Each structure stands twice: as C-alpha cells, then as structure tokens.
C-alpha cells in the first residue's frame, strides 16, 4: 500500500473553516475591545474645562435640560424642565450639590446670600441655580427645607450634567457668563460670597 | 375535614403576601450599586448608600415588592444604578456577548484538538507500509538463522 501524494489531505475544507474561525474570532475580539473603549471613554471624567480655565480661556458651558426640583427666581414650576442655554443673557451661578454632602450644607448660606444680593432686579440678570446629583428626591427636598434654601434647583438623577461639567466631587460651583461660557469654577466648599460676587461683577460690566 | 382544608387554604392565602414581601434590605441592595463609589450597595457605607438603604427599608415596610423598590431606585438614579444590566434592549449585548464567547470557545475545542492531532501525526511521519511477501520471507529467514 502506497500513499498517493496527489490525494488532498484528510479534511480538505480545513483552510476555509480556519479562515472563517479567524474572522469570527477577530470580530468578537474587536467587539469586546470596542465595548471596553466605549466604557472607558464614558467613564472618564476629563479635565478640559479646568485646563481651559487655567489657560485663561472660557470654555462653552455644556448645555442640558433638567427637571426643576426647587422653583425660585423665575425657574419653575417644580417638575417642568429647564434648558441651561435658555438662560443666555444672564450670569448663571451653577452649584452642584447633594443632601448627604456636608460641605454643601455649610455653603448653602453663602449661595443664598449671593442669590439675595441680585434678586429682585428689573431683569434678574444674575441667577443662582443648584443641580442636585446622586441623591434621593425626598432627601434633597428635606435638605432644602432644613437649610432654608431659597434658590432654584434642578435634578440630575443620572449624573449626565455632573459628568458633562467634569465634576469629580461635591460641591462644585461654576459661574457662566451671559454668552454661555464658563468664567469661573470653584471646586469645594464656598466660604465667602465674594468668591462668586467678584467674578459676577466683572461679568455684568460690558466688555471693551 | 373539608372545613379544616378550607381553613388551611385560607391561612396559606393570607400568608402569601407576607412571603412575597419577606426580603431583607440587602436582598435589594446587592442588586443595585452605590452611585458615588460604584460598588454594590450592600457593601457600601457611603452617605448616599445609607440613604438608599433607608429608602429600601422604608418602601419595604410600606408594602412595596422588591421589583417596585428597584424600579423606584431606577426612577431616582437612572438605569445605571442597577448592579447588572437589564436583559432587554441594547443592554442585552452585555449578556449575549459573554455567552456567545463561551459557546464559540466550546465549539472550538474539537477543532483545535483535531488540528493538534494532525500536527502530531505529521511530525511522526507517515505510517510505514506493510512488508512485501519477499521482505516477509527474508525477515523470517533472518530470524530463523539467528535462532
């Protein structure tokens, strides 16, 4: 018995199967890698806002539409939605807070003092708005009641706006100019209204 | 007899809601995550986690089922609060991809085994052909000669 060298090896369709297997494997590996990258990109809280401010630029304030948790100063009624870009033309103080955040409790009177200073003007050209994040509604409302909060607040239940503003920890406060650009960011607890009012006064004065 | 059976059935029916609601805070907590620390809620002691555990206990005591409590937390924090993605819509991918990978891996085992087996055979070389009658005769002679 001799081996015929012209006879194709056993399992002649093997090369095709191996190619198909390699393609399927490649697609799966690429898919898993893509999911990992998407996950990492979405999870990452960047520093582009901070970088721009440090370079002396005013980065555009991310826009968002959020439900009203606390109504005040023309923001409301409770349950309605407010789009931040609809506040163009005003200086907006945007403060990220939560009921469980102790520094937020300590800075609440500072924010109320700033709001009171500009409240009641003919055009309400400065508005202080809170953004409640990572919080239960009932707890947030109790916090506002217990601390006599008089400013309006929106609710960001899913952290979308918190992430868009690159807020890694609470509290954090932004001052947004009338053109919708971030002019100032205060990371951590506010201790003095002047931390905000100095910037606000500069923004109220027409440039040039 | 019938009366006794009816009484037992009534007791069992009355106990049903209690059985359905008999869950602990941790039964729900391990199905969701703490939004500030991204760990399962049952092992988190972050301030918001304590608020959430209080919420679960309160709703349970108010007669909510586990599903209703979880739906309530999703309403508060969004679907991202779930410890595992829901088995529907786009999130289904998170369940399908690993299962598919395991199935493909299992299916690949016989193929890989066959490849290895073929490689081993090739390395050993082809099997020697049986001796021809002439060779067999000479072999027998040689063996006889050597005793």
* Total count of domains within chain A: 2
Q: Residue B25: enclosing H or E segment and its boundaries?
A: helix B25-29
Q: Are A122 and A141 members of one domain?
A: yes
User: Which of A86-90, A175-179, B20-24, B46-50 is least confident?
Assistant: B20-24
Q: Are A144 and A105 members of one domain?
A: yes
Q: Are A119 and A105 members of one domain?
A: yes
Phi and psi at residue A74, in whole multiples of 5°?
80, 0
Q: Contact A158/B80, CB-based, under 8 Å?
A: yes
Q: Are A33 and A79 members of one domain?
A: no
Q: Are A29 and A66 members of one domain?
A: no
Q: Give me the pLDDT at residue B84, please.
A: 84
Q: Are A35 and A123 members of one domain?
A: no
The range of the structural domain enclosing residue A133 comes to 48-204
Q: Are A39 and A71 members of one domain?
A: no
Q: What pTM was computed for the model?
A: 0.70
Q: Are A40 and A56 members of one domain?
A: no
Q: Residue B110: enclosing H or E segment and its boundaries?
A: helix B92-124
**3-state SS, residue A122:** coil
DSSP 8-state code for residue A156: E
- In this complex, the residue of B50, B77, B100 whose CB is nearest that of residue A158 is B77
The C-alpha atoms of residue A189 and residue B47 are separated, in whole angstroms, by 18
The C-alpha atoms of residue B81 and residue B101 are separated, in whole angstroms, by 26
Question: A3 pLDDT exceeds 50?
Answer: no
CA distance B35 to chain A (A): 6
CB proximity B48 to A under 8 Å: yes
Q: Are A23 and A102 members of one domain?
A: no
For A178-205, the pLDDT digits (tens) are 999 999 999 999 999 999 999 999 987 5
Phi and psi at residue B77, in whole multiples of 5°?
-115, -5
Domains of chain B are: 23-84 (1.10.8.640), 87-147 (no CATH)
């Amino acid at each position: 018995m001799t081996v015929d060298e012209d006879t194709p090896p056993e399992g002649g369709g093997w090369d095709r199967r191996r190619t198909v297997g390699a393609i399927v494997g490649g697609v799966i590996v690429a898919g898993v890698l893509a999911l990992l990258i998407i996950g990492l990109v979405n999870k990452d809280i960047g520093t582009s806002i901070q970088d721009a401010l440090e370079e002396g630029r005013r980065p555009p304030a991310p826009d968002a539409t959020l439900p009203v948790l606390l109504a005040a100063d023309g923001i409301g009624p409770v349950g309605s939605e407010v789009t931040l870009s609809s506040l163009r033309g005003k200086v907006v103080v945007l403060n990220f807070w939560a009921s469980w955040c102790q520094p937020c409790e300590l800075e609440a009177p500072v924010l109320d003092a700033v709001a009171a200073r500009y409240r009641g003007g003919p055009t309400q050209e400065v508005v202080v708005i809170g953004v409640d994040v990572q919080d239960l509604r009932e707890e947030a409302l109790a916090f506002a009641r217990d601390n006599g909060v008089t400013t309006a607040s929106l609710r960001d239940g899913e952290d979308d706006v918190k992430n868009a503003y690159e807020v890694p920890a609470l509290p954090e406060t932004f001052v947004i100019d009338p053109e919708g650009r971030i002019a100032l960011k205060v990371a951590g607890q506010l201790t003095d209204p002047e931390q905000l009012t100095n910037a606000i006064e500069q923004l109220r004065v027409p440039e040039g | 007899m019938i009366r006794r059976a009816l009484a037992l059935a009534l007791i069992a029916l009355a106990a049903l809601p209690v059985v359905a609601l008999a869950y602990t805070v941790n039964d729900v907590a391990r199905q969701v995550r703490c939004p500030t620390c991204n760990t399962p809620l049952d092992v988190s002691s972050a301030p918001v986690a304590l608020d959430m555990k209080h919420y679960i206990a309160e709703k349970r005591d108010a007669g909510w089922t586990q599903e209703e409590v979880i739906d309530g937390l999703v309403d508060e924090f969004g679907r991202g609060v779930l410890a595992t993605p829901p088995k529907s819509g786009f999130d289904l991918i998170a369940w399908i991809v690993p299962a598919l990978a395991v199935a493909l891996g299992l299916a690949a085992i016989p193929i890989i085994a066959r490849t290895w087996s073929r490689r081993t055979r090739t390395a050993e070389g082809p099997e020697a052909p049986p001796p021809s009658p002439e060779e067999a005769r000479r072999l027998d002679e040689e063996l006889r000669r050597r005793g």
